[in-house]
Amino acid sequence: MASVVEYKGPREGYRCGYCNSPAGKVSSGMWAHSMTVQDYQALIDRGWRRSGKYVYKPVMNQTCCPQYTIRCQPLHFQPSKSHKKVLKKMFKFLSKGEFSRGNNEEEPMDSQMDDAAVDDFVLKSKLEVQSDHRPLSEDYNKVIESEVKEKEENLEAKETKELNQSHAKREKLGSGEPSSSVRVIPSAPKPGKGADLSKPPCRKAKDIRKERKRQKLILKSQTDKLEGSQVQREPQPFPSEKPKLNQPKSIEDFIFDTLPEDAAHQLEFTRFLCSSPLEAENPPEGPDCGYGSFHQQYWLDGKIIAVGVIDVLPYCVSSVYLYYDPDYSFLSLGVYSALREIAFTRQLHEKTSQLSYYYMGFYIHSCPKMRYKGQYRPSDLLCPETYVWVPIEQCLPALESSKYCRFNQDTKAVDEERVKELGRLRVLYKRTIMPYNIYKKRQKGPSDEAIVQQYADLVGQTCSERMLLFRS
């Protein structure tokens, strides 16, 4: 099976959904009648992205809001404080039914559906949910990074203040001063409930938890020695390294944490193939689910509340967009689904080692509400000229001074996939597959070499020789 595409050429002068420019958006596109997962992987590694069966690539140095392909490295990913907050909120809602709707903002939009296939959006009317055409979403329309950081600092200050107040009360009671408003109960505090009064004052809760773990390890070691002197036991392996204390939780620790038997809600997931230009493949060495496009359904107590569309490709999971029920936006379903997809990528990697990246679509630094994708780290941005991946930390300083940037610092580096032999490009003409140099000899009318050259430069030498360019 070969990919069959119909190149539509550049399109400019239409409205941008990010800066609201009435005529600032510029992109090139093609219609994919069919496409292999190998070819689409190669295309997204050159800055392309699909909306349904329409595959497009922004003209980066001309469009009003340059869109840089961004990928996360799930194998090294650790959730941030804001990510953990979303995961804890979901667990609390499922286990106890508690939630706070607060000031829920609409989640930011992503790429516009230029000429997307209609059949991919029939699901919207069936589910009666909001269509969110983007790979990720987060409640950051008004709550931008500075506000999130401020909230986290306030929370930490509050926690420290409570610890200090608790210690002050203990000192007051210990001095013999009467107190009718405070009663001391001689029992250890519950985990996470107030300070451990046996510890020194003015210590952060994190340090206290770390100390508790250390004390438990010492107690366990002493108990083991005592038992070993009384009864004969099999030799136990002794760790070569000291145990890591206060090890940060992974996504799996949050997502797959066991709910209590009397949980208020049940969240279930189903996955199945969906309509897409990508041809499904299930090779023996591939992931258990195979390659292709999938709907991931989120069911809450038997009611479907969200559907995420993902592409499972040879080297990555590519998030396409998310449908969600706006009544459940207080659960930050966009963020939660993104974290689940990162965890899913890690699961696939265990079976298929080369599948190790999570593609989040486009990062748009010139649009503040779309910078949230940069919080999923470590992550890389694709250089729009040489198509090499560069850590996002190295790209941000340049993006602060210019909307369009070449990230590759090697001035001599070029696009290694640039087309060197146009004649080897494959064409589908009158139901016959032929190289472009043969097609030119049979062509009648004006030459189309300029538009074919443009297509070849955008898809690269490998894809131009592998995909079939339809010519009428």
CA neighbours closer than 13 Å in the CB half-sphere of residue 449: 9
Q: What are the φ and ψ backbone dihedral angles of 449, each rounded to 5 degrees?
A: -60, -35
Residues 214-267 pLDDT 10s: 766 766 665 554 444 443 333 334 344 444 556 778 889 999 888 999 999 999
Between 442 and 192, the higher pLDDT residue: 442
Peptide bond into 191 cis (omega under 30): no
Q: What is the pLDDT of residue 161?
A: 53
Pair 316, 73: CB distance under 8 Å = no
Residues 73-84 pLDDT 10s: 999 999 999 999
Pairing mode of beta strands 4-14, 49-51 = unpaired
Lowest mean pLDDT among 47-61, 246-260, 283-297, 334-348: 246-260
Q: Tell the burial category of 388 from Cβ atoms under 10 Å away from its Cβ (0-12, 13-18, 19+).
A: middle
Q: What is the pLDDT of residue 239?
A: 41
Q: Can you spell out the DSSP letters for 49-87?
A: EEETTEEEEE-TTTSSS--EEEEE-GGG----HHHHHHH
Residues 450-470 pLDDT 10s: 999 999 999 999 999 999 999
- 428 has a pLDDT exceeding 90: yes
Distance CA 375, CA 149 (A): 12
Confidence tier at 141 by pLDDT (50, 70, 90): very low
Distance CA 460, CA 418 (A): 5
DSSP SS3 for 88: helix
- 404 has a pLDDT exceeding 60: yes
Burial 263-288, CB ≥16 within 10 A → b, else e: eeeebeeeeeebebbbbeeeeeebbe
> Taken in order 228, 232, 234, 235, is the CA torsion positive or negative?
positive
Using only the alpha carbons of the chain, give its radius of gyration. Answer: 28
> Taken in order 397, 399, 337, 378, is the CA torsion positive or negative?
negative
